[in-house]
Structure 1
Amino acid sequence: MTDSEALQRAQAVRRFNRFYTRLIGALHEHLAQSTFSLTEVRVLHELSRGRAQTASVLGRALGLDSGYLSRLLTNFERRNLITRRPSETDARQSLIALTHEGHAAYAPLDAAASQEVLDLLGGLSVSSQEQLIAAMNLIERLLGDKPRQDAVELRAPRAGECGWLVHRQAQWFAAQYGWDASFEGLLARVIADYTQRNDTLRERCVVADQQGMVVGGVCVVAVSTTVAGVRLLWVEPDVQRGGIGTRLVAEATHFARRAGYTRLTLTTASTLEEPRRLCKRAGFELVSTAPERRFGKDLMIERWELGL
């Protein structure tokens, strides 16, 4: 990436920050009629989740200065909005919880905030709402302090999601390895053949769904009456090594076994560590290696097999 491209991306992030700051300000207009500041509402929200917390945990979760938070909590205590009790595990810490009055004070603020968001979403179609939430989840996933550990559901792909598997892999392999458009064509042919055959007894595609967003997928297609092939195995790079790929390969294996196949195959390049790691973990064996010119590159193509 050139310095100019990097600067353009930085400016795009700053532009979004300005837009979102204005939007958040508009969404919190109801606070102007309340006795609480935005920071105080954030603290009340954290405590309203029903779990007593220490001041240090609150401060870290909300990014607040300890002195400022201490003054805020003292004010809350004076107004009978919170209680403090000694921690059973650390006598130096106090566990903070909302009182009945604290819950009562926060409830209308929470309801007003939810209604403002509902009004905002109400101006969008259902598909646009889903697109917006997916974009928000993606920002949180990519910029979060630690990898997301949300539950992942393996399910059948919805309309457009098979195409997403083609789009995302073609995009990533072009950027990461310089593979040309012939790779995208190969992926597209796999999906086209799979969807047109629509053989639900012998073939299957599943995607990994995390918080309503696809983060991976795999297809099992018929190679012969006894052999099935794993195709389009994919896990988003930022959520790899979290067990998603292992689950996808296991799902493919279980389906192939139930469908009556005796062997499951997977073809990959020797430079791709993630699919090779998943193959080894699932018990696949490397049966052949050969140099080939594919996707505009000289690659060492590997064929892996698993007896079922």
Structure 2
Amino acid sequence: MTVQDIRAFNRFYTNVIGALDYSRHLYAPFTLTESRVLYELAHSARTDAADLRTELSLDAGYLSRILNKFEQDGLIERAASRQDPRRRHVTLTARGRETAALLAERADESVGALLATVPPVERPRLAEAMHTVRALLSDGRPPRREDVFLREPGPGDLGWMVARNAALYSAEYGFNADYEGLVARIVADFAQDHDPHLERVWIAELDGRPVGCVMCVRDDAPGTARLRLLLVEPAARGLGIGDRLVAAVVGFARHAGYRDLVLWTNDVLAAARRVYQRHGFVLAAEKPHRSFGRDLNGQDWRLDLTDSAGRE
């Protein structure tokens, strides 16, 4: 391979992507950089202005002008961070989330149109080729937080959630097949009947592969949402994926109008409990039980979504 081979590929791929973007006005009325900022605000747990600047490698003045525009258009709100008053915490408004969702929908349609030109039998080959390019050009560096993105589930992802929950909980906690049955029922109920305005699943993807997931569904109690099936693959831990997934659920539940967010877990899941605590969940009750072939201590955790102090 020569330098000219890479340059020729770059020209080809830029033309393909550029043609799609132009024909569908993918980012209108925003620039590509503005769209990237909106995407980061919608998907990242770290939304201080300084974090955005680092994540996106933007000049401070340029980012400030973008955020000023967004604030004037009612897309974001800014306030001093509770952890450090010198830092500015940035959150999307309801209008901002709707705008980010629209841009994401356009992007999905655009890429879907491109993928539709590839025969289904060739798509695994394409995915593997893209993974190979990323792996070879990363120069052996370990994955970074910005390499992970959250997305809606695609074909096969719900099945992956069941399989990986069953395998990991068996390997790490000794759970038997009863747990796989529980997860399968939860996922099947969501797949067969859910309200997309009130319920949602997130898949964390790294290098084209799912590495984490979480679910937000309606609880039996009025005004209450339930967080379920938080999972992060062992090889992807340490990248803040659990925090991002929980933050996504909290933000979605709050903007959907829920008053409370609850979850049930067991005290052996120490790492997950620490994530919940960082996001403001408090222990509401606990009770020993025999489930999944183990003697466990079940815990109910709750987050008050009406508490303005917990909005970060």
TM > 0.5: yes
- Calculate percent identity across the aligned residue pairs: 38
| Contact 1:266/1:305, CA 8 A, preserved across alignment | yes
Conservation of the 8 A alpha-carbon contact between 1:220 and 1:256: yes
- CA apart distance, 1:212: 1.8
2:3 pairs with 1:107: yes
Q: Please say if 1:228 is aligned against 2:225.
A: yes
Q: Matches of 1:110 and 1:157 in 2, distance apart?
A: 33
TM-score, structure 2 length as denominator? 0.56
What's the TM-score once normalised by structure 1's chain length?
Answer: 0.56
Cα distance between partner residues in 2 of 1:137 and 1:292: 49
Deviation by residue 1:72-122 (Cα, 9 ceiling, x = unmatched): xxxxxxxxxxxxxxxxxxxxxxxxxxxxxxxxxx335658999xxxxxxx9
Matched to 2:298, the amino acid is I
- Cα drift, residue 210 of structure 1: 1.9
Contact kept? 2:158, 2:187, Cα under 8 Å:
yes
Matching of residue 197 in structure 1 with residue 193 in structure 2:
yes
Cα–Cα, structure 1 residues 162 and 280, in superposed 2: closer, same or farther, change >3 Å? same
1:155 aligns with 2:51: no
Partner of 1:181: 177
Asked which structure has the greater CA Rg, the reply is 1
- For 2:290 and 2:201, how far apart are their aligned partners in 1? 28
After superposing the two structures, state which structure 1 stretch, 232-241 or 290-299, moved more: 232-241
Aligned pair partner of 1:249 in 224, 246, 250:
246
Matched residue SS, 1:289: strand
The one-letter amino acid paired with 1:190 is: I
Aligned to 1:211: 207
1:27-64 CA distances to partner (integer Å, 9 max, x unpaired)? xxxxxxxxxxxxxx7xxxxxxxxxxxxxxxxxxxxxxx
Q: Secondary structure at the match of 1:187?
A: helix
Q: Are the structure 2 counterparts of residues 221 and 138 from structure 1 closer, same or farther at C-alpha, using a change threshold of 3 Å?
A: farther
| Alpha-carbon separation, structure 2, partners of 1:180 and 1:186 | 11
Q: Deviations over 1:153-201 (max 9, x none)?
A: 2111001101111111111111222211110111111111111113112
> What is the CA–CA distance in structure 2 between the aligned matches of 1:168 and 1:130, rounded to whole Å?
24
Change (3 A) 1:211 1:300: same
SS of residue in 1 equivalent to 2:265: strand
Q: Is the 8 A contact 2:225 2:258 kept in 1?
A: yes
Structure 2: which amino acid aligns with 1:275?
A
Measure the CA separation in 2 of the matches of 1:264 and 1:305.
Answer: 6
Structure 2 segments unaligned to the other structure (5+ residues) = 11-117, 306-312
- Distance of aligned partners of 1:146 and 1:293 in 2 relative to their CA distance in 1, 3 Å threshold: same
Deviations for 1:198-218, whole angstroms, at most 9, x for unmatched residues? 311211111112222111111
Change over 3 Å in CA distance of 1:110–1:134 after alignment to 2:
closer
The answer to whether the 8 A contact 1:268-1:302 is kept is yes
**Partners in 2 of 1:123 and 1:111 — Cα distance?**
26
Deviation at 1:148, TM superposition (A): 4.2
- Alignment of 1:263 onto 2:159: no
* Contact kept? 1:229, 1:264, Cα under 8 Å: yes
Q: 1:195 to 1:124 in 2, by over 3 A?
A: closer
Alignment partners' CA distance in 2, 1:254 and 1:274 = 21
Q: Deviations over 1:234-264 (max 9, x none)?
A: 1112222322111111110111112221111
> Partners in 1 of 2:163 and 2:183 — Cα distance?
9
- For the residue of structure 2 that corresponds to 1:157, the secondary structure is coil
Partner of 2:112: none
Can you give the 5+ residue segments of structure 1 that lack an aligned partner in the other structure? 1-40, 42-105, 115-121
SS in 1 for 2:258: coil
SS in structure 2 of the partner of residue 206 of structure 1: strand
- 2:227–2:249 contact (8 Å) kept in structure 1: yes
Compared CA separation, residues 108 and 123, structure 1 to 2 (3 A): farther
